[in-house]
Structure formats: structure tokens, C-alpha cells
Amino acid sequence: MQYGIRLREENDMTFSEFCTLLTGIMPKTPLGQIVSIRAEEDKDMLKNFTKEQHEIRNEWRNRNNPIEEMTEEEKAQKAKEFQEIMSKMFGGA
């Protein structure tokens, strides 16, 4: 516990204050370690990752980019759905 607080017990913390604390999280904390693993781009560092570290990183990256797992047909369907939504929103036919 880097800051000596429990978020569940903080009833009046503003979101701004939370963001400030989060950006200052040290890499040696459990959360800091996960963030470091997810953000790593250095190929030499990645070569030294354990299987578990690769799983953490890959799970995060796949979760953030579901398009990579979509077929071309699924992508085309989603694009069509998006176009229809935009058309309805902005009065197009």
C-alpha cells in the first residue's frame, strides 16, 4: 500500500485526486507491476518476460482490440451498423 489508504474506505475522494494518485503509483506495487507489463514495448524486455507476464500483456492487448479477432465479414457488418447509427443521428437517409 503505497499511499496507506484503502479506496473502499475513502468516501469523499474526488476523481481528480484519484487520477493524481494513480499516475504516481510506483512500479514496485502490484498495480504498478501490472501496468508496466501491459505497457512494455521494448523487444529485449519482452524476450525476458515469463509465460505469465506474456499472458497478462496479451490478454490486455486482445481485450483492448477486439477487431483483430473479427473476420472481414464481421468488420464489414460492424462498419455498416456504425454508418446506420450515424445516419440516424445526423438525419441522413
* Chain segment 15-40, per-residue pLDDT in tens: 888 888 888 888 888 888 998 999 99
Q: Read off the pTM.
A: 0.51
Q: Which three cell numbers, joined as nine digits, stand for 90?
A: 445526423
CA 54: distance to chain centroid? Answer: 15
In the predicted model, residues of the chain with pLDDT beneath 70 are: 1, 64, 91-93
Predicted confidence at residue 93, as pLDDT, reads: 52
- What span, in angstroms and rounded, lies between the C-alpha atoms of 40 and 48? 11
Q: Residue 23 has what pLDDT? A: 82
Question: Grid coordinates 504516481 are at which residue?
Answer: 24
Q: Domain segments of the chain: what residues?
A: 1-39, 43-93
